[in-house]
Amino acid sequence: MPESKISAEKWMGELVEFLRSEPGVSAVRIDPTAHKVAVATFGAVDLALLAEKLAATIAAVDARIASRSAAAAPAGYTLRREGEAFVLARDSCVTADKMRPWREVEWLNRGAPDRAEEPEWKKLAVLAAVCGAGGIAGALTQHYLPAAGWLSWIFFGLGLVAGAWDAAIDTWENLRKREIDIHFLMLIVAAGAVAIGARSEAVLLLFLFSASGAMEAFALDRTQREVGALLKSAPKRAVVVEADGGEREIAVEELQLAQRVRVKPGEAFPADGTVVSGKSASDESALTGEAQPVEKGKGDPVFSGTINLWGALDFDVGRLPSESTLQKIIRLIQTAQKLKAPSERFTDKFGTGYTYAVLGGATAMFLVWWLGFGLPAFTNTPEVRSAFYRAMTLLVVASPCALVLSIPSAILAAIAWGARHGVLFRGGAAIEKLADINAVALDKTGTLTTGELAVVGYESFPPGRETEVMELAYALEAKSEHPLARAIVRDARARGVREVDVGDFRNIVGEGVKGSHEGAQVLLGRRELLEAGPLAGWAQKLPAAPADLSEVWVIGRDMVGRVLLRDQIRSESRAVLAELKRRGIFTVMLTGDRQHAAEAVAKELGLGDVRASLTPEGKVAAIMEFRAAGKKIAMVGDGVNDAPCLAAADVGVAMGARGSDAALEQAEVILMQDRIENFLSAHRLSRRARTIIRQNLTISLGVVVVMVIATVVGVVPLAIGVAAHEGSTVVVCLNSLRLLFGKNA
């Protein structure tokens, strides 16, 4: 039986045994990518006791499930995939587990390091410091106390052990898998240098190697801090409001959909949801990069991990904590850091083969210097360096440390900067591809415009009674939560419109609302309200609204009027499009709106091309047309209807972490807080990352070529070779960190 199938049956057996022992659990869901575990329960359960019993099972399953192997579930159980997660359930109705409450349980990974453990770079820095101190002490002792040779050996030995410690651990793990890498090369060179008496050079090599390793780990740690900050912002407890108005504090993992939660000033929202009462503002900077507080009132969305600033709010849970916007962003960043760019994958493949080539080349040159040129094999003299010494130097200068770090260090730094400034990349490939685009397609509604309607005017028929139109529209829409109603109410309050009394308020499904005012019936709604009543003949003669405007009709006792509204263009859109044009990037609008409305927006913004009245299929066809013409195109959108063309474009860019799940699923770049100007930051960042990657490759390959030639000629001592090789590695890491600390907006 294949080993993968055996592994799958083992981890499934562990879960089956757990389900058999826990009659109150109907299913277990394990997501190894997000490191999440949840159980579907029925009846009352002791979650703390359940978590304790599940801990051993999780630990046993952890290593085995990593292979993502699958096998047939045993009789009485079903196994299914939900995205990256596995769900093992008892045989039952398909919807049974969905109806039961899912409760998250902490994934207790026994083999994982403790969260309070010191960062890796600090350990490497300590080892490098001990190595350097040992080398300096050994060199000073050797020079000033030549009679005490044993003492210099002790200092050199201490430096060698400290410098080789981490490399030896990695090398041993790789050798067990029958692989070799750069660490193996460094240990071979250090051992060879000691064998020929070049102890100081050996310590110098290991010091610089361990110091560059610490630098690399530091750069990686800096990129991980953004995710760590998000994780820390996730609250652990929530206050649930009971039906009788009482409060009960529970663990966030126990929250259920539609539960009412109360958040006091200064506290973090424990889940995504919608405000039902209270008024406040939230600090969403950690989530979206938006520095300004965002006002919150009834009907407004709130997001897990953001901070409630000044007023108490009650909200209804709209998503389970595991599916919140915060967790979604964390998973996006974590996944992005694991996904490699095409050039990065190339260097990975190149690195292994190159290591073998360097070993073979150094061995061949040793034989050439020894047998071909007659140099001494191992004996060094002041006049002539041995063939073995030169071979060790060649191994050092030809090792691809800096080359292997050239791309991933820049990619990780770029991802981290983006996460901190409201731009999420789905891996290095997105960064590389975005740097190459020469065309951008943009959706209109919600992308170039805000997606929020605003009143632009009032009309009455006959003219002169616009104030009455405003008053009736305000009164009829004051109790509605429809987007049109919110726009009318917001405008009326801004104008200070008088509030009039309207009684017998009723909804007319699909058409509008009606009520009574001063003994007469009043109506508000679509044009069809006029055309269906006694005013039908007269209504057909009323002028149509301009193509770029929406209209709401108001009918009073002896008056008819309308409110005109327009989807507001984002104030930043014009500047963004102008900057894209300056960068030589062609822009086009792809929208399902009417041609006249689309052209009006395009004319105002200065767009290069407009494609209107498009279905989702039409948008995809337009994207493919541009690609066939040789354009490398990015698509920016936010809705479900944009998802197909986001997938069809060279780079899909979604507006906001609040966008549709379909759009987020297909996008490779996500612009937080619906800020279109972040696209410019993303594009500039990708170009800077590409430039820095090219610089890193030039530095690393240039140093290798120059030093290999110099070593073959025989003019480079081992110490210089070590300094050049490790120095280029440090320079590459520092160059990449410019992306993390520099200004990319």
Task: Give the three-class secondary structure for 297.
Answer: coil
Distance CA 514, CA 216 (A): 68
Residue 221 makes CB contacts below 8 A (sequence gap 6+) with 119, 120, 121
Q: Which two tokens stand for residue 534?
A: 């006694």
Sequence-separated (6 or more) residues with CB below 8 Å from residue 229: 286
Instruction: Tell whether omega for the bond before 408 is within 30 degrees of 0, i.e. cis.
Output: no
Q: Which among 622, 670, 690, 673 is positioned nearest to 439, based on CA atoms?
A: 622
Identity of the residue numbered 373? F
CB-based contact 678:572 (threshold 8 Å)? no
Question: Kind and range of the H or E element at 130?
Answer: helix 120-144
Secondary structure in 3-state letters for 682-707: HHHHHHHHHHHHHHHHHHHHHHHHHH
> What one-character DSSP code corresponds to residue 281?
E
Buried b / exposed e along 76-103 (16+ C-beta atoms within 10 A): ebbbeeeeebbbbbbeeeeeebeebebb
Q: Residue 681 is which amino acid?
A: S
Say whether 286 sits in a helix, a strand or coil: helix
The Cα 198–Cα 376 span in angstroms is 16
The single residue of 272, 443, 593, 638 carrying the catalytic annotation is 443
What's the token pair of residue 127?
């080892």
8 A C-beta contact, residue 522 and residue 554: yes
Neighbours of 148 (CB within 10 A): 12
The enclosing H or E element of 31 equals strand 25-31
Helix 401-420 / helix 428-435 crossing angle, nearest 10 deg: 80
Distance CA 398, CA 404 (A): 12
Q: Are 343 and 407 in contact (CB under 8 A)?
A: yes
3-state secondary structure of 442: strand
DSSP 8-state code for residue 616: H
Residue 638 known to be catalytic: no
**Residues forming the active site:** 443
